[in-house]
Structures are given as structure tokens and as C-alpha cells.
């Protein structure tokens, strides 16, 4: 069965499943194991990697860069990879944004990023950040830009600034345990044909052995983590970027792409993890 994909507003198709890298690059003694884990993932077929200048103070980008460089030397074509990084709100002003992107690219050993996100909204006016993203595009340093942790009001405000409608995605916390975005943000993004990138799809590990997921998982001869992931990946326009630090978890998460949930499964999940009935503040991790 084909792996799920999403379409960006530009029309390009990319995998719906990607790798998270938060907590990588924090401890020098773990770096070679982290590079090996990312390399293994790339060998398995994972092609989308999400990182940020914040993670490990650049350490996660350094680890990711090493794994990407090794994978390319081993024959993975650059144009198959989709590398996402994020800029801190304090670096989202005109000059700082250019410098932050250059530093990220240096750590990632890349000439350009596929997608550069504003990690969360800070004090810099959105119009200035959008101008900065456009300049990075003109300089060939990024292809697409987007945002993270924006609620619906933020997205509407962004859409109203010059160039703001070119935003490619909004990366937010979305999981079975955190379904608030279904009420307003996700339907709005679908109308804009903008994919939602779901971070912390396992609620940072809380869902991976959830007792409410076990019976359903057992019926499918799957793991609770795979059910949590398959539930996200079955939705049009939703991407998910689980972080996994070992081979078994990477394999299980990759295999979750082939798990098909039926109407009865979805109804059972709705009973245990109720969809929102009113607007909720955006969940932030």
C-alpha cells in the first residue's frame, strides 16, 4: 500500500510521516547513537526530518546534518529529502532571521532548507518575519516557509499581512489526547489547502502504552503507538512527526502507515478520546 502523502499549497506532494528530533544533540555522549538512529531511519525510507535551532542549542541540527550528509553520500538524493527547521521568535526580525537561517544551514550541512518555520509567535511583527522569509527564498536559502504554534486568530492575522498567504503549514500539537484543533484550526487549514503538521503525536510518550488503545491495537495485531499514529495519518492534510530514538520504535512507526482503521475503530477512539465540542486554547508542549 502506498505511504500517505500531503499536498502543499504549492502543489508539491510530500510524505505525511516525518521524524522528530527534539532532545537530540543535548548530550555529546549520545551523539553517535543519535546519528546512527537517524541514518537507520533514512535507510528505512523516512525522508522528512523536523528539527529546530532551539533543540540542544543547535545540537539537534548538527546531529541531523551529519546523518543527512552520510545518507546523501550513501546515495539518498537531496531532492528526496524534506528538511524542516525552525527559527526562534527572538531571531525572527529582519537581519537576525537571515543570520539564524545561515547558521541552521551550516549545522545541517545543507545549501537550502525545504521548509523554515517560525517556532512560535513572539514580539516581531508578522509582516517583518514574512518579508524576511521572502528574502531567504530570493536568496535560495529556503524553499517554503511556515509557522508553528499559531492558533486560528494568529493564522487569520498572518493571512492579512502582505505575502502571509504563502504560508506552507502550521506545526501544532495534535494527537488523540489533544484534539482541540479539530474544532476550528484544522477545518480552516483544510479550506486553505494548507497541511497541518502534528507534533508530539504520542503526547511525548503518554499514548504509547495507553490502556484505552491496547484492545484496539491487539485486534489489529499492532501496538498502541501505531494506532495513535495511524489515526493521524488517515486524515487528509495531516502530517505527523513522531520522535523515536531506537530501531524498534522507528520500524513500528514506519509500519503504522499501513495500518487501516475502520469506522468501528474510529468510533471506539472517539468514545475514549472525545473530539472537541467547543473552541479550546491551542495545546502547547
Ligand X SMILES: NC(=O)c1ccc[n+]([C@@H]2O[C@H](COP(=O)([O-])OP(=O)(O)OC[C@H]3O[C@@H](n4cnc5c(N)ncnc54)[C@H](OP(=O)(O)O)[C@@H]3O)[C@@H](O)[C@H]2O)c1
CA distance 279 to 181: 8
How far apart are alpha carbons 12 and 193 in whole angstroms? Answer: 12
The β-bridge partners of 7 are 13
246 sits near ligand X (criterion: CB under 6 A) = yes
Binding mask 41-70 for ligand X (x = CB under 6 A): ---------x--------------------
- Among the residue ranges 72-80, 139-147, 184-192, 199-207, the one whose residues contact ligand X (CB under 6 A): 199-207
Residue 242 binding ligand X, by CB under 6 A: yes
Any contact of residue 116 with ligand X (CB under 6 A)?
A: no
Tell the burial category of 246 from Cβ atoms under 10 Å away from its Cβ (0-12, 13-18, 19+). exposed
- Contact segment (CB under 6 A) with ligand X among 14-22, 70-78, 214-222, 266-274 equals 14-22
Q: Does 104 bind ligand X (CB under 6 A)?
A: no
Helix (H) or strand (E) holding 15: strand 13-15
**Least separation in angstroms between CB 178 and ligand X:** 10
Smaller CB separation from ligand X, 140 or 225:
225
Distance CA 58, CA 80 (A): 24
Residue 31: phi and psi, rounded to 5, are: -60, -40
27 binds ligand X (CB under 6 A): no
User: Residue 180 gets which letter from DSSP?
Assistant: G
Contact (CB, 8 A) for 225 and 252: yes
* CB-nearer residue toward ligand X: 11 or 28: 28
Q: Which of 56, 201, 210, 254 binds ligand X (CB under 6 A)?
A: 201
Q: Is 160 exposed, middle or buried (0-12, 13-18, 19+ CB in 10 A)?
A: exposed
From the list 96-104, 121-129, 204-212, 271-279, the region that binds ligand X by CB under 6 A is 204-212
Minimum distance from residue 249 beta carbon to ligand X (Å): 4
- Among 6, 14, 15, 21, the residue binding ligand X under the rule CB under 6 A is 21
Q: Out of 55, 174, 183, 199, pick the active-site residue.
A: 55
Q: Which three cell numbers mark 218? A: 491487539
How does 9-22 read in b/e, with b if 16+ C-beta sit within 10 Å? beeeebbbbbbbbb
For residue 183, indicate whether it is catalytic: no
Interface contacts to ligand X, rule CB under 6 A: 20-22, 50, 119, 148-149, 171, 199-205, 208, 225, 241-246, 249, 252-253, 285
Amino acid at each position: 500500500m502506498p505511504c500517505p502523502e500531503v499536498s502543499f499549497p504549492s502543489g508539491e506532494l510530500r510524505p505525511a510521516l516525518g521524524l522528530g528530533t527534539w532532545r537530540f544533540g543535548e548530550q555529546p555522549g549520545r551523539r553517535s547513537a543519535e546519528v546512527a538512529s537517524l541514518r537507520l531511519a533514512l535507510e528505512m525510507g523516512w525522508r522528512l526530518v523536523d528539527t529546530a535551532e532551539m533543540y540542544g542549542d543547535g545540537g539537534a541540527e548538527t546531529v541531523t546534518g551529519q546523518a543527512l550528509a552520510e545518507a546523501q553520500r550513501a546515495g539518498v538524493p537531496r531532492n528526496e529529502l524534506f528538511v524542516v527547521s525552525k527559527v526562534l521568535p527572538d531571531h525572527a526580525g529582519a537581519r537576525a532571521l537571515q543570520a539564524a537561517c545561515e547558521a541552521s544551514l551550516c549545522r545541517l550541512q545543507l545549501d537550502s532548507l525545504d521548509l523554515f518555520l517560525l517556532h512560535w509567535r513572539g514580539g516581531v511583527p508578522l509582516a517583518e518575519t514574512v518579508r524576511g522569509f521572502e528574502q531567504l527564498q530570493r536568496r535560495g536559502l529556503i524553499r517554503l516557509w511556515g509557522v508553528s504554534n499559531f492558533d486560528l486568530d494568529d493564522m487569520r492575522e498572518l493571512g492579512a499581512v502582505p505575502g502571509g498567504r504563502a504560508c506552507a503549514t502550521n506545526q501544532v500539537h495534535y494527537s488523540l489526547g489533544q484534539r482541540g484543533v479539530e474544532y476550528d484550526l484544522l477545518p480552516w487549514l483544510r479550506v486553505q489547502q494548507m497541511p497541518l503538521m502534528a507534533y508530539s503525536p504520542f503526547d511525548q510518550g503518554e499514548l504509547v502504552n495507553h490502556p484505552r488503545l491496547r484492545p484496539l491495537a491487539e485486534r489489529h495485531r499492532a501496538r498502541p503507538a501505531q494506532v495513535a499514529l495511524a489515526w493521524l495519518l488517515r486524515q487528509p492534510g495531516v502530517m505527523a512527526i513522531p520522535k523515536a530514538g531506537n530501531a524498534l520504535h522507528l520500524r513500528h512507526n514506519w509500519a503504522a502507515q499501513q495500518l487501516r482503521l475502520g469506522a468501528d475503530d474510529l468510533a471506539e477512539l472517539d468514545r475514549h478520546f472525545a473530539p472537541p465540542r467547543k473552541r479550546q486554547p491551542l495545546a502547547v508542549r
